[in-house]
Amino acid sequence: MAEEAKKKDSPSKFRTSIGGQALIEGVLMRGPGKQAIVVRSPEGLVEKVEELTLVRDKYPVLGLPIICGAVTFVDSMVKGVKALMFSADYFPDEDVAEPGKFDQWLEKKLGNEKMQKFITALAVFLSLGLTILLFFLLPTFLASFIDPYIKSAAVHNLVESVIKLVIFFAYMILCSKQKDIYRVFQYHGAEHKTIFCYEAGLPLTVENCRKQPRHHPRCGTSFLFVVVVVSILVSSLVFSFVNWRNMWVRMGLHLLLLIPIVGVTYEFNRYVGGHDNKVARFLSRPGLWLQNFTTNEPDDSMLEVAIRALELVIPEEKGKDAW
């Protein structure tokens, strides 16, 4: 009986650790040893392959549970922003004016390479800042208006949680309605279909990839949703013992709890991604549903881009990329 239960709980098929990200007319794929960017520019496919270096390899302490999740999240965001900037260079906005005096001064002082690093750091900072502001600080601020009418910490936590979820879903839905984002979400769907095809052991052809689902359990959309849910659970526990009426105290604690929240979410996603049992499938359903807003059906040209990006990062040693 124990052996049968173990078989049911074990993965039924190969799961790869290779992950990806949709870009502007392109796809980023990240494997165990390298990452590849493939962009369909007006002149044809553009490929960029880089050896993958992880911060936690240089500093082993950053590979510890919980800490590892937060470090991986920031590292992925940095690499993702760089890839987005790379793809955007092939589609310049004709309406953008010539660089202003400040831009010229900045490039003169820092040099082109340092300026690119500065812009990347600024973009990451703004992305993180917007995420924290929208999903962590804004709900606390809005919930503070009902403090005079609430005497229970549990009710306050419930109201703040509902506000947080409403903001999250509204953000996802609004993004999905943007015309400029539609094609990016098509490439997102192409990335998922291609990885599914590879995990199924099928030849990486457009025909085989087209048949695959566009919703994948190990998606960044699912990760963000779980971060929000875990933050609600952790906050509800913490604010049962802390002065929950002070808005600034709540905001400060939200910021302090971010690292453990992201770390716990990372470990959660690793579990769900590595198992194919009833529990894992149940836990992955909300994230899969959300991908209705963040993925669209790709066309064949998009699948070709995703296939090429994946081919460039598949390790020569079979199984080295196993989840």
Domains of the chain: which residue ranges? 15-311
Query: Are the C-beta atoms of residues 294 and 176 closer than 8 Å to each other?
Result: yes
pLDDT at 108: 55
Burial label, 5 (beta-carbon count in 10 A; 0-12, 13-18, 19+): exposed
pLDDT at 24: 92
Token pair recorded at residue 252: 């400060």
DSSP assignment letter at 168: H
137 three-class SS:
helix
Calpha distance 91→120 (Å, rounded): 18
Residue 50 one-letter amino acid: E
pLDDT at 118: 65
Calpha distance 113→56 (Å, rounded): 25
Q: What is the pTM of this model?
A: 0.82
- CA 165 centroid distance within chain: 18
pLDDT at 104: 53
Q: Which residue stretches of the chain are H helix?
A: 2-9, 55-58, 67-88, 101-132, 138-143, 153-176, 179-199, 206-210, 220-238, 247-256, 258-274, 278-294, 300-311
13 three-class SS:
coil
- Does an H or E element contain 48, and which? strand 44-51
Calpha distance 103→261 (Å, rounded): 38
Q: In degrees to the nearest 10, what's the CA dihedral of 138, 143, 147, 153?
A: -110
> In Å, what is the CA distance from 218 to each residue of 19, 42, 97, 268, 274?
8, 31, 40, 11, 9
Token pair recorded at residue 103: 């831009």
Residue 239 one-letter amino acid: F
Calpha distance 209→212 (Å, rounded): 5
Terminal Cα distance for the chain, rounded? 27
pLDDT at 187: 96
How would you write the pLDDT of the chain (323 residues) with one tens digit per residue? Answer: 334 444 444 334 788 989 999 999 999 999 998 999 999 999 999 999 999 877 777 777 877 888 888 888 888 888 888 898 899 888 865 544 455 554 554 555 555 566 666 677 777 788 888 889 998 899 999 998 988 888 788 888 889 999 999 999 999 899 888 888 999 999 999 999 999 999 999 999 999 999 999 999 888 888 888 888 999 988 888 887 776 678 888 888 888 888 899 988 888 888 887 777 788 788 888 888 999 999 999 999 999 999 999 999 999 888 888 87
Whose structure tokens read 């900072």?
125
pLDDT at 2: 39
